Amino acid sequence: MATALILLAAGKGTRMQSELPKVLHEIGNAPLLHHAMMSAASIAPERQVIVAGHGAEEVAAAARVYDADVDVVLQTEQLGTAHAVDQARNVLEDFDGDALVLYGDTPFIQPETLEAMRAARAKHAVVVLGFEAADPARYGRLVTQGDTLERIVEYKDASEQERAITLCNSGVIAADCKTLFKLLAEVGNDNAAGEYYLTDIPALARAAGLSAGVVRCSEAETLGINSRAELAQAEAIFQSRMRRNALDTGVALQSPDTVHFSADTVLGRDCVIEPNVVFGPGVTVETGARIRAFSHLEGCHVARGAIVGPYARLRPGTELSEDVKIGNFVELKNATLAEGAKVNHLSYIGDAKIGAASNVGAGTITCNYDGVLKHQTEIGARVFVGSNTMLVAPVKLGDDAMTASGSVITRDVPATDLALARARQENKTGLAVKLFEKLKAIKEKRQKDSI
Ligand code: UD1
Ligand code: MG
């Protein structure tokens, strides 16, 4: 059955105390909005409609980063969840198939749950996702009769008896799209909040002779984010899930609780991740690579057999081929290293290509920025870059070339050449001892004078 996703994301999120629209706050370096879209991706929706309001432009831009084909509709005034869904009417009124409503601030709905809702639609015209709440607080309550849902009552409108119900409304709802819009037209706002409640839909369906049902999920899945504290709590849940998933797919995490993941981190089987490693967005690490302690990676690819760190920083555009070695206090940015290349100590390599089996000595820096423009450094295969070489880009070093330690390389070095670019050394016979004596004499005189 074709499905159209309607994602509610118009709310302000006052309790976040933030300039940023709530759904753009991040978990695992991805906005909440993307997490909700990722949940829905499991049922491959044919259409995706985002209902935006507060910060609509930013929300729309973020949604399009995830998928350029989303529709964004505007809810200029937040008059309630039914009113929000109704903003998708123009886009979806003629859609043949189901509508699935998710909240943009509810990131953990699982694929199995959406699958179960889809299955339940064979039995019921309207399916609502409910959960047993440990503390039902102000959630809407589901009034059920056997496995049919009679109605949903909002906390504000509920009697004492209804408030005693612990089966709560998650807000997720599925129904045939045309039916949903027909029923939405009947929703009024005569209630305690003066809002158009989406929760009126099950009762309206039943009044129209249709059935409504409930699918249950765990409370953890329906966790919604309303405050910074809840966001932090959700991040912790997300991180432990990512760690668990890495372990289950054959990644060795030596100290799982100290490794920080992004939502899109991909680690191959038999990778070893040492303690205190941070994966920013856009990292893939292939089978058998090792990321040593205290390394920070983002926007990079590490091929099999490579070793990175400890204390390495891989920035966006870093591409490490097989068996590359990156050592401590090395920063790489927009750099491609071919098979077996090594940068082992205290270096900055930016906007560079390094050929196979080349060795970059300690303290080497690509001087890639002249204050205005960025320039490329190209190093061939089997090059030996002496320690503390400054490579003033743009510059090229041919295959099998060498630079002397301490060189400032400003011109290209042809293949097989040795480049020496430092002052020639002079030795003065016996001068060291004479100089020492002179200095000691100065020190003694100063001590005497100060008594
Ligand atoms: C809603 C449900 C309640 C349920 C709870 C679960 C209704 C009437 N109540 O209550 O039964 O237990 O969620 O968390 O549906 N939104 C808009 N436009 C609006 C109003 C809301 O886009 O005009 C969005 C919000 O940004 C949010 C979601 O819809 O993502 C839910 O709105 P919220 O105000 O949090 O509803 P609750 O009062 O929590
Ligand atoms: Mg809410």
The tens digit of pLDDT for each residue in 295-315 reads 999 999 999 999 999 999 999
Q: Which ligand is nearest to the CA of 142?
A: 1
Q: State the pairing for strand pair 325-337/266-267.
A: unpaired
The tens digit of pLDDT for each residue in 70-92 reads 999 999 999 999 999 999 999 99
Q: Is the beta carbon of 103 within 6 A of some atom in ligand 1?
A: yes
Q: Is the beta carbon of 106 within 6 A of some atom in ligand 1?
A: no
Q: Is the beta carbon of 173 within 6 A of some atom in ligand 1?
A: no
Q: What separation in angstroms does the CA of 225 have from each of 106, 214, 222?
A: 6, 23, 10
pLDDT in the model for residue 451 = 83
pLDDT in the model for residue 303 = 98
The whole-angstrom separation of Cα 403 and Cα 408 is 9
pLDDT in the model for residue 124 = 97
pLDDT in the model for residue 439 = 98
pLDDT in the model for residue 101 = 98
Positions marked catalytic: 345
- DSSP class of 445: H
Q: Which residues of the chain register pLDDT less than 50?
A: none
- Rounded to the nearest angstrom, the distance between the alpha carbon of 26 and the centre of ligand 2 is 18
- Rounded to the nearest angstrom, the distance between the alpha carbon of 13 and the centre of ligand 2 is 9
Q: Is the beta carbon of 202 within 6 A of some atom in ligand 1?
A: no
Shortest-distance Cα residue to atom 35 of ligand 1? 11
Q: Is the beta carbon of 196 within 6 A of some atom in ligand 1?
A: no
- Rounded to the nearest angstrom, the distance between the alpha carbon of 143 and the centre of ligand 2 is 19
Q: Tell me the residue type at 63.
A: A
pLDDT in the model for residue 343 = 98
- Rounded to the nearest angstrom, the distance between the alpha carbon of 11 and the centre of ligand 1 is 8
Residues with Cβ within 8 Å of 397's Cβ and at least 6 positions away in sequence, in order, are 377, 378, 379, 380, 383, 385, 391, 403, 409, 412, 413, 419
The tens digit of pLDDT for each residue in 222-253 reads 999 999 999 999 999 999 999 999 999 999 99
Q: 3-class DSSP state for residue 187? A: coil
Mutate to test the pocket of ligand 1, among 85, 103, 154 (most ligand atoms within 8 A of CB): 103
Q: Is the beta carbon of 154 within 6 A of some atom in ligand 1?
A: yes
pLDDT in the model for residue 146 = 84
Q: Is the beta carbon of 359 within 6 A of some atom in ligand 1?
A: no
The whole-angstrom separation of Cα 102 and Cα 124 is 18
Q: What is the DSSP string of 146-181?
A: TTEEEEEE-GGG--HHHHT--EEEEEEEEEEHHHHH
Cα-flanking dihedrals φ and ψ of residue 389, to 5°? -85, 135
- Rounded to the nearest angstrom, the distance between the alpha carbon of 81 and the centre of ligand 1 is 6
Mutate to test the pocket of ligand 1, among 77, 81, 141 (most ligand atoms within 8 A of CB): 81
DSSP bridge partners of 260 = 278
Shortest-distance Cα residue to atom 37 of ligand 1? 139
pLDDT in the model for residue 12 = 86
Average pLDDT, the chain: 97
165: exposed, middle or buried (Cβ count in 10 Å: 0-12, 13-18, 19+): middle
What are the chain's domains? 3-222 (3.90.550.10), 228-419 (2.160.10.10)
